[in-house]
Amino acid sequence: MNHTLKIALLSASMLLWGVQASTLALADEHDRGRAEPRPEARGPGGGRPGPRPVAGRPAFDGRGQVLDSRYNHGRYYPPRGTVLRSLPDGYRPYYRGGDRYYFSGGIWYAPRGPGFVVVAPPPGLVVSVLPPYYSTVWIGGAPYYYADNVYYTAQPDQSGYAVVDPPDNADAPSPPPAPDSAQGDLMIYPKNGQSKEQQAADQFECNNWSKGQTGFDPTQPGGGIPGNADAARSNYNRAMSACLQGRGYQVN
């Protein structure tokens, strides 16, 4: 075999090998393109898709927080027992029975060693303000404020809201009551987008507070007090107006 023929055979072999390698690479790219999920089907950060929600199982976000879907609350909270090295900004300290608790964003913490653990607050603990995100739910004819599996009720005499045990019929909430006809002479308009449930709760609590302040009960004949019922009703209406205006309503 002469030198020229050897060179020709070697060139043909290299060309054939290049065609085969290119074909294999294209096939491999095609298979990988079929196997990889589309960008919009990937999970957060471009990784693999997260687990799909399963009925009966808690839903988690990307930070391990659990979705609280009761009463359509729709917020995520860290599970009880989660330990933090430091408290979040804007927390408020509270004390109950000599124990310290810290409240921030609807989440309760207690000191544990060098850090803090997410806990359930004890019933009877009174907070000055409700969580920034809460759901108003009517149970047994009374309004409760709910967030992160904790129930609160208004305590006007303590200027706050108390943590309470879950009501016995917590799984059977009722619609908010119709506006009290005894308050029909007051025209009430929500200025801050309050829901019907929230407006009913505010009227309920302002009514209780106004009755305590004036002694006048609009559901009773003559207000349930001796003397000048007209003057007592006027005092009651002024108290109701002040209470509702303080909660973001226009009262005429």
Considering only CA atoms, which of 62, 38, 36 is closest in space to residue 51? Answer: 62
The answer to whether the CB of 113 falls within 8 A of the CB of 76 is: no
SS3 content of the chain, % helix, strand, coil (to 5): 35, 25, 40
pTM listed for this prediction: 0.62
Tokens 């003559």 correspond to 222
Cα 107 to Cα 67, 133, 238, 247: the distances in Å are 13, 11, 37, 24
CA distance 37 to 164: 48
Helix (H), strand (E) at residue 162: strand 160-164
pLDDT score of 13: 52
For residue 56, name the pLDDT band (cuts at 50, 70, 90).
Answer: low
Tokens 């043909």 correspond to 12
Contacts of 233 (CB under 8 A, 6+ apart): 216, 218, 223
Q: Indicate the DSSP class of residue 47.
A: S
The answer to whether the CB of 110 falls within 8 A of the CB of 122 is: no
Residues 58-66 have a mean pLDDT of: 80
Which tens digits make up the pLDDT trace of 158-171?
888 999 999 999 99
